[in-house]
């Protein structure tokens, strides 16, 4: 039968991915018990909201199962006490300061990054970004949303997120929605969500870079970046500092919206970022009584705009009061994605497997 010393020796080979040190060295292993072929112990994590929690537990369990005579391993989790955190925090904080920006970058493995962009405000860009993330999540993907609209953030409210995200030993941990979508937005960090963010360009750019490099996103299949409207500093920062697999353009039927989205497309081309395609939002309204499609904002300009840009038309989305209600109530994940699912599939198919090269 194995003893406590053998178990601790096995766990010395398991590192906390964030801190880069052994679980035993960090003082995370407690209350080791052995009963016949079963081993029980407690892991004290820096925070129970750790996005890498499952990986740590699985690695610890597998390490102990390799010992002869061990058939079952039971792991209990708790959060470190302030005193326990204090013992490891100063050295980690010093390492972060030495590394500079991007302290969590080595922990993040994001397969694809998709930016959602519009030429002007009011076309429903953020709701499209939120529905896109929800559609990917419903397909079983690991999804995150980076809200790069620093001065007009709306993503957290759509997902019903209002509490500040936890702080890990290496970086900020994103908030998680009911279905497990990871979200980071400036609104989650403000003392009051109604507080105005009155920042100049360099500060906005710095915040976006931190959301990319200092947030522990962990392992993601897709990260959706909600860009602010237009071609300002924030959009420039994203395209110059984040490796994008593609941009999804959002427009509406009006001629003005089409004209401005063409400016956004040209910005992407200038910065060598691939355009996945065009989505026309608020394209029509379905009469609840007769089912007729009414073009509230005039005839669709989607196909013409797509042809002018030489990009595919991914789809047309209706003007739906139910979507507005869901967004206001923080229930975007409960909105039916039947209409959007085919668009999400096209985006996944057309998004470049080769990300753009950031121009720092």
Q: Return the CATH number at 37.
A: 3.30.300.130
> Is the per-residue pLDDT at 333 higher than 90?
yes
> Is the per-residue pLDDT at 92 higher than 60?
no
Q: Do residues 85 and 159 both lie within one domain? A: no
DSSP-assigned states of every residue in 199-224: --HHHHHHHHHHHHHSB---EEEEEE
71 pLDDT band (50/70/90 cuts)? very high
For residues 234 and 65, the model is more confident at 65
Domain boundary among 72, 99, 126: 99
Which range is most confident: 80-84, 259-263, 326-330?
326-330
- Report whether 70 contacts 37 (CB < 8 A): yes
Q: Between the CA of residue 59 and those of 23, 37, 50, 73, 353, what are the distances in Å?
A: 11, 19, 15, 11, 30
Mean pLDDT lowest for which of 70-79, 148-157, 349-358?
349-358
Q: What is the pLDDT of residue 102?
A: 67
> Cα separation of 43 and 45, whole Å?
6
Q: Which domain range does residue 242 map to?
A: 105-350
Q: Do residues 54 and 184 both lie within one domain? A: no
> Cα separation of 246 and 155, whole Å?
20
> Is the per-residue pLDDT at 138 higher than 80?
yes
Domain boundary among 99, 128, 149: 99
Q: Do residues 336 and 189 both lie within one domain? A: yes
Q: Return the CATH number at 280.
A: 3.40.50.300
């Amino acid at each position: 039968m194995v003893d406590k010393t053998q178990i601790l020796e096995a766990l010395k080979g398991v590192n906390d991915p964030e801190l880069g040190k052994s679980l035993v060295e960090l003082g995370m292993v407690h209350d080791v018990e052995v009963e016949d072929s079963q081993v029980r112990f407690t892991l004290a994590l820096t925070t129970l909201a750790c996005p890498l929690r499952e990986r740590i537990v699985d690695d610890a369990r597998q390490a102990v199962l390799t010992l002869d005579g061990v058939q079952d391993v039971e792991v209990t989790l708790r959060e470190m006490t302030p005193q326990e955190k204090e013992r490891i925090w100063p050295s980690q904080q010093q390492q972060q300061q030495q590394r500079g920006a991007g302290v969590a970058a080595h922990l993040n493995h994001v397969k694809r990054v998709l930016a959602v962009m519009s030429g002007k405000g009011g076309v429903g860009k953020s709701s499209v970004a939120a529905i896109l993330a929800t559609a990917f999540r419903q397909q079983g993907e690991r999804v995150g949303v980076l809200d790069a609209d620093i001065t007009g953030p709306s993503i957290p409210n759509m997902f019903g997120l209002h509490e500040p995200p936890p702080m890990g030993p290496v970086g900020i941990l994103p908030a998680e929605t009911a279905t497990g979508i990871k979200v980071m937005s400036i609104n989650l960090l403000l003392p009051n969500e109604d507080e105005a963010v009155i920042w100049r360009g360099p500060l906005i750019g710095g915040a976006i870079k931190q959301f990319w490099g200092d947030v522990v996103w962990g392992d993601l299949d897709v990260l959706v970046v909600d860009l602010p409207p237009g071609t300002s500093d924030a959009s420039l920062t994203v395209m110059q500092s984040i490796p994008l697999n593609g941009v999804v353009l959002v427009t509406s039927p009006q001629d003005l919206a089409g004209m401005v989205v063409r400016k956004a497309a040209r910005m992407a081309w200038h910065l060598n970022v691939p355009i996945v395609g065009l989505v026309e939002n608020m394209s029509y309204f379905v009469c609840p009584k007769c089912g007729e499609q009414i073009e509230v904002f005039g005839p669709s300009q989607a196909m013409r705009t797509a042809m002018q840009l030489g990009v595919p038309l991914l789809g047309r989305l209706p003007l739906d009061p139910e979507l507005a209600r869901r967004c206001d109530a923080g229930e975007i994940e409960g909105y039916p994605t039947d209409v959007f699912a085919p668009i999400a599939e096209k985006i996944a198919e057309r998004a470049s497997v080769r990300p753009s090269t950031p121009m720092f």
